[in-house]
Amino acid sequence: MHIDPSDPVLAPRDELIDDHVPWTAVDMSSLTRIRCRECDTPFLKESAEMSGQSVLPGWLWKDLPSGNWAEMMDFWHCHKPDPHEDNPKTEAAAALKLEDQNAQIKGYGASSHVEAIPGTVLIDVATFLLAEADCMNLKKGNEEEAKTTTLLGSYGRTLECTECNAIIGMEDPSARGWRLLKANVSLNTNIPRPESDGEQWQSHHTQIIVAAQLLELIERESARRFVVHCGQNSGLLLWVFNPDLRYSNSSAGHSANPQQAMKVFFQETREVDKLLAPEVGNPSPLSVEELELPSMVYEALSETLQESNQMLPPTARKFNEWQVGLLSRFSRLQAT
């Protein structure tokens, strides 16, 4: 096949390093809205600008830092006050108190944590964090579904769409807010204009969101093997063999244009606990990181990997005991 040198997917790799996360603050405006991906029910209350009021500004969107930001800020803070020689104990106590105060004010340290802010949408790789008062058309799930623990933290009940009952997100008691899953919503990031033909809503497949989470962990933890599960003892063992792969596919339902993806080796496991916390004297044979997903996201990921495996030529579907699959990843150059 002939290759077009001007194709965006052939851009230098250093231009694509920070472009694997969809829907960051730079993509948003004060009028951006969020709705259900299934039934188009809106979840974000109208901002002051949209409701015709001029007293208050519209929605403010902010990107959250990396998952280990508090630890890294503690490491980077090198200007700590030193105790004087004449009274080391008193000076040391005062220095420690001053350091704790600075950690609270400047937002670093183990005791710091993110909290939802009314009027502001905080964005991480997989979710939007909002204050409960800023949301509408969402209801809390059953008590039995409470206390879901994932990589992002310990969550409360699930949040469901009031119209179609689709699971949209979960409570986050530690952040005093609600988290909406990017994979389960659609956004209108364009400012509406009277002369436009219609609103342009955008959504991303679950595999793109999970791929962004894996890429973020690769950059943050320098890991390539992951135990992915939804809180059960069974899950998937993933090996991200190639995080940046280009391929094309001419089968039905796919585009023949070059696509950017991750080549992933995977296998099912029923020993999640043993892989993550091996018994004393029995070290794990693999160095792995954990990625815990909501059940609906985990099921969609497993289904996507199986489907991509069947898409590959028969001779390329297995590598020793591993199955081979592809996960599409987000690229800002392709999106534009």
Average pLDDT of span 101-109: 52
What's residue 17's pLDDT?
Answer: 46
Who's near 28: CB < 8 A, 6+ residues apart? 59, 61, 121, 123, 189
Average pLDDT of span 65-90: 56
Average pLDDT of span 251-276: 84
What's residue 60's pLDDT?
Answer: 92
Band (326; pLDDT cuts 50, 70, 90): very high
Amino acid type, 197 = D
Band (2; pLDDT cuts 50, 70, 90): low
SS3 162: coil
Q: Mutual orientation of helices 206-221 and 295-311 as an angle, nearest 10°?
A: 100
Average pLDDT of span 65-79: 60
For residue 122, pLDDT over 50 is answered with: yes
- More confident of the two residues 272 and 55: 272
Who's near 130: CB < 8 A, 6+ residues apart? 44, 116, 121, 122, 177, 178, 179, 180
Name, of 63-67, 154-158, 172-176, 265-269, the range with top average pLDDT. Answer: 265-269
The chain-wide mean pLDDT, for the chain, equals 78
- More confident of the two residues 6 and 37: 37
CB 173 within 8 Å of CB 154 = yes
Alpha carbon distances (Å) from 2 to 5, 50, 258, 273, 292: 9, 48, 12, 48, 41
Q: Smallest Cα–Cα separation from 183: which of 297, 35, 71, 72?
A: 297
For residue 109, pLDDT over 80 is answered with: no
Average pLDDT of span 264-290: 82
Say if residue 291 is exposed, middle or buried (CB neighbours under 10 Å; 0-12, 13-18, 19+): buried
- More confident of the two residues 95 and 289: 289
What's residue 146's pLDDT?
Answer: 43
What's residue 57's pLDDT?
Answer: 59
Amino acid type, 240 = V
- More confident of the two residues 75 and 21: 21
Q: Smallest Cα–Cα separation from 169: which of 25, 301, 296, 33?
A: 296
What's residue 18's pLDDT?
Answer: 54
Q: Answer whether 0.85 is exceeded by the pTM.
A: no
Band (335; pLDDT cuts 50, 70, 90): low
CB 164 within 8 Å of CB 39 = yes
- 241: part of which helix (H) or strand (E)? strand 235-247
- 28: part of which helix (H) or strand (E)? none
Who's near 24: CB < 8 A, 6+ residues apart? 63, 123
For residue 179, pLDDT over 70 is answered with: yes
**Least confident interval from 198-202, 253-257, 303-307:** 253-257
- pLDDT tens digit sequence for 180-214: 999 999 998 765 555 455 678 999 999 999 999 99
Backbone angles phi and psi of 172, in degrees to 5: -130, 90
The sheet with strand 120-123 has its strands ordered as: 60-63, 120-123, 127-130, 177-181, 167-172, 158-161, 138-140
- pLDDT tens digit sequence for 139-178: 998 654 444 444 444 567 899 999 999 999 999 998 899 9
Band (283; pLDDT cuts 50, 70, 90): low
Give the C-alpha separation, 77 to 74, whole Å.
5
- More confident of the two residues 132 and 48: 132
